[in-house]
Amino acid sequence: MKEKKHIVYTAIMALLFFGMSFFCWFKPADDFSWTERRPLDQFPKLNMQTLLNGSFMSKFEEYTLDQFPMRDQFRSMKAAVAFYILGQKDNNDIYMVGDYVSEMEYPLHKEAVSQSMHKFASIAEQYFQGTGVKLYHAVIPDKNYFLAADNGYLSIDYEALFQQVKEEGSFMEYIDIVDLLQLEDYYYTDTHWQQQSIIAVAEALADAMGAEVKTSYEEHTLDTPFYGVYYGQLGLPVNPDHITYLTNPVLDSCLVYDHQNNKEMPMYDLDKAVGRDPYEMYLGGSLSVVTIENPAAATDKELVIFRDSFGSSIAPLLVDGYKKITLLDARYLHQNMIGNYVEFTNQDVLFLHSASVLNNPSAFK
């Protein structure tokens, strides 16, 4: 009886073990992980040099992790065990509250915030001195501002961050938009705000800068489910979002230009809405220099926005108040290159970044 038990036991484990091993060896390699939005490691180069310096071994390990059969299912299993059996509050810093998924932003990196503000000050000193530009700045509270502390998760001291930004950015006029936002204005599975929920924010920003954007929009909601950036990181099945974008005749008539790739592009790229990051449909995603020209503008005012990805969805809502809007991403554009795209005369200049970008030590290095 005992021997029979051992044979059955060994057979079960051998079947599982060797079955999974063969699957690992013979599964064709995938190129891209859609849930993590990144390319997957391929089989590393094998030669005497890479063997002797050990680089083959370390890359082979990365390759085996990336190409593991049913990788997403195993990651889901890990997340489920971490949350529901081991009782962990987060899984790799990703947490869930109801249908909302977010990544803990903690702690407050005061040096990173200072670094960001020094960067803005340096840009101001290089380009704005002696010009007629008016400088404004605003901080977008990330989703954790509304979600983390109330639900027992760690979050940065936002009041301290806002205060630091105001003090170190005293050369700019601060526009407070926090009270105009609430949790429902953000996607469930993504870090970003939803365009249809930030009209009031756009109006407040324009109003503070002396522009007027009172206008109406038509809402278009995409049928394609939007699995935000946290969806893949969470590893558990949650309901997807749906992207809504706003149009009106003024927006339809605008000319949008991608200076990074020297080409015209649509305000909303519907092809990207079904791509690896659907949020990139707003003004092409993470481009360093984009201009929007509004031929129907009733003003000659121009706006320059130093922004992060949040700026892509709000910029169209500011178009009505300006003849031209230039979006610059100082994280990807060298400071000395800015002058190649904008001649600063008397524009409104808005520094608009999310708290999580300002708090990121590597954002404005």
Partner 1 sequence: MVFSSIPFLYYFLPIVLILYYMAPGKMKNGVLLLASFIFYAWGEPRYIVLMITSILLGYIAGIYIDRYRGTKYAKYILFLSVAISVGFLGYFKYADFFISNFNAATGLSVPLLKVALPIGISFYTFQLISYTIDVYRGSVKVQRSCLNLATYIAMFPQLIAGPIVRYADIEASLTNRKHTFGDISYGIRRFTMGLSKKVLIANPLGELCDVFAASGEQSVLFFWMYAIAVSLQIYFDFSGYSDMAIGLGRMLGFKFMENFNYPYISKSVTEFWRRWHISLGSWFRDYIYIPLGGNRVSKVRHIFNIFVVWFLTGFWHGAAWNFIIWGLYFAVLLMLEKMFLLKYLAKIPQVITHAYVLLIAGISFVIFDAANMASAGACIMAMFGLGDAPLVTAETLYYLRSYASILILAIIGATPIVKQTAEKFSQTALGSKIVLVAEPLVVVGLFLVSTAFLVDGSFNPFLYFRF
79 Cβ partners below 8 Å, 6+ apart? 91, 234, 235, 236
Burial class (CB in 10 A: 0-12, 13-18, 19+), 50: middle
Nearer to partner 1, 129 or 362 (CB): 362
Determine, following the binding rule CB under 8 A, whether residue 29 of this chain makes contact with partner 1.
no
Least separation in angstroms between CB 106 and partner 1? 8
Tokens (6 digits) for 24? 């690992």
Nearest distance, CB of residue 157 and partner 1, angstroms:
10
Q: Are 325 and 291 in contact, with CB atoms under 8 Å apart? A: yes
The stretch among 120-128, 149-157, 262-270, 302-310 that binds partner 1 (CB under 8 A) is 149-157
337 touches partner 1 by CB under 8 A: no
Kindly state the greatest CA–CA separation across the chain.
93
Listed residue (189, 195, 197) closest to 102, CA to CA: 189
Residues numbered 274-303 forming contacts with partner 1, rule: CB under 8 A = none
Binding-site member from 29, 38, 43, 57 for partner 1 (CB under 8 A):
57
Residues numbered 216 to 255 that lie near partner 1 (CB under 8 A) are 235
Helix (H) or strand (E) holding 102: strand 100-103
CA distances from 84 to 88, 90, 91, 119, 132 (A): 8, 11, 11, 43, 58
List 37, 44, 71, 97, residue binding partner 1 (CB under 8 A): 71
Give dist(CA 89, CA 84) in Å, integer: 9
Nearest residue (CB) to partner 1, 14 versus 298: 14
- The least CB distance from residue 348 to partner 1, in Å, is 38
Q: Rule CB under 8 A: which of 80-109 touch partner 1?
A: 81, 85-90, 92, 106-107
Q: Does 134 bind partner 1 (CB under 8 A)?
A: no
Tokens of 91: 């899984």
Sort strands 302-307 and 38-39 into parallel, antiparallel or unpaired. Answer: unpaired
Q: Give contact residues for partner 1 (rule: CB under 8 A).
A: 2-3, 5-10, 12-13, 16-18, 20-21, 24-25, 51-54, 57, 60-61, 64-65, 68, 71, 74-75, 77-79, 81, 85-90, 92, 106-107, 152-154, 235
